[in-house]
Chains A and B, each alone.
Chain A
């Protein structure tokens, strides 16, 4: 079946602009995660949704970052007033749920802020 998809695959923007990154999880997966991977580093947790609600947003770096999942499926990560330091690969993962769930990752969106 189809895996996790993310669009766009690449996004170039200018400092100060607003961007939206989209994640389509695997059908039927109730849990959805966003991670950020900077160059030479492992992915870092941003936010976790269980259904429509954000169960844990402790990884969001500041109030310029926001994510939604209004219908419990597709999620959008929104970044306001982008800064050069926001440049990274943004990864989305989904999971079926349950205590031994495996997170399945999408290919990521590579964001470059000029």
Chain B
């Protein structure tokens, strides 16, 4: 079984500040890991994903995440927040096997203060 933990439901940062959204996962097999962003009244958009290879993954809009197997973490970061980053962010995990359903965390709402 797989699970994802996103601690806290809301993060608020100032424009230009570092964004750090935490994600820890549980998986009995090597996972594939994803971050999705959801803007109000829109569908989920893929920010970045880790499958194999380099553990530091760069995504769209200046976001990146690092897969740390020893810590079972996949935290999302962005050096400088922009007002347009305000949205809900979901971390997800799936196995590399044939059943490729995603298991999502509860999500974190990011607010950006001017």
Q: Which residues of A approach B to under 8 Å, CB–CB? A: 4, 31, 33, 35, 40-45, 48, 55-56, 59, 91, 93, 95, 99-108
Contact = CB atoms under 8 A, between A and B. Distances in A.
Interface string B75-93: 0000000000000001010
B49 A102 contact: yes
A100 B103 contact: no
B99 A42 contact: no
B4 to A, nearest CB: 8
A91 B44 contact: yes
Contacts of B90: 42-43
A40 B102 contact: no
Q: Chain B interface residue count: which class?
A: 20 to 34
B43 interface: yes
Nearest to B100: A101
Would you call the interface of chain B mostly helix, strand, loop, or mixed? loop
A41 B106 contact: yes
Nearest to B103: A45
A42 B106 contact: yes
B101 A48 contact: yes
Contacts of A108: 43
Contacts of B46: 102-104
Nearest to A100: B51
Contact of B43 (A33, A99, A106): A106
B100 to A, nearest CB: 6
B59 to A, nearest CB: 12
A53 to B, nearest CB: 13
B104 interface: yes
B102 to A, nearest CB: 6
A31 B100 contact: yes
Nearest to B9: A40
Contacts of A4: 43
